Amino acid sequence: MVDLVRRTCSCGKFDLMKIPGRYAIKATFSVGIQAHTLTGGMYTTASWRSIYEESINPISVSEDAWIVPSHVQQAKVLPPETRRAAGQRKKRRYETFEDKIRSSQGTQTSKRRKCSRCGIEGHNRSTCDREI
């Protein structure tokens, strides 16, 4: 359930993040409202500019006038030596709760295996009774 006037939804994402989720965006399309108008005021460009206008000070000296010591200019900086960890690499993508449900509901079809000795399906190498 999405309430566009109060900017709330039953899952709570809209309430916490102040950004419309996929349900709220779908509701805005059906009503004819642009989704970006429902985001919280903290995500506007004007808000970000007002927050950081005094904190970030530009460097008044141009880059051409910088004095960099010669040993710093000549230094070769290499990445640290690393070794790949043993074992199988972990996934880099973390599934959302909805993705986990969707993937568990799919059909679990197993790959048909065949004997590595004779190449016929239905048995494996340890139970193969064919002549070599």
3-state secondary structure of 116: coil
Residue 93 DSSP class: P
Interatomic CA distance for residues 91 and 99, integer angstroms:
14
- Nearest Cα to Cα of residue 122 among 113, 132, 130: 113
Assessment of whether the complete model's pTM goes beyond 0.75 = no
Residue 92 DSSP class: S
In this predicted model, what pLDDT tens digit does every residue of 37-92 receive, in sequence order? 888 888 888 888 888 877 666 677 777 778 888 999 999 999 888 888 888 877 76
For tokens 């494996």, the residue is 124
pLDDT score at 55? 62
Interatomic CA distance for residues 5 and 26, integer angstroms:
15
Using the predicted structure, report yes or no on whether residue 108 has a pLDDT greater than 60.
Answer: no
Using the predicted structure, report yes or no on whether residue 100 has a pLDDT greater than 60.
Answer: yes
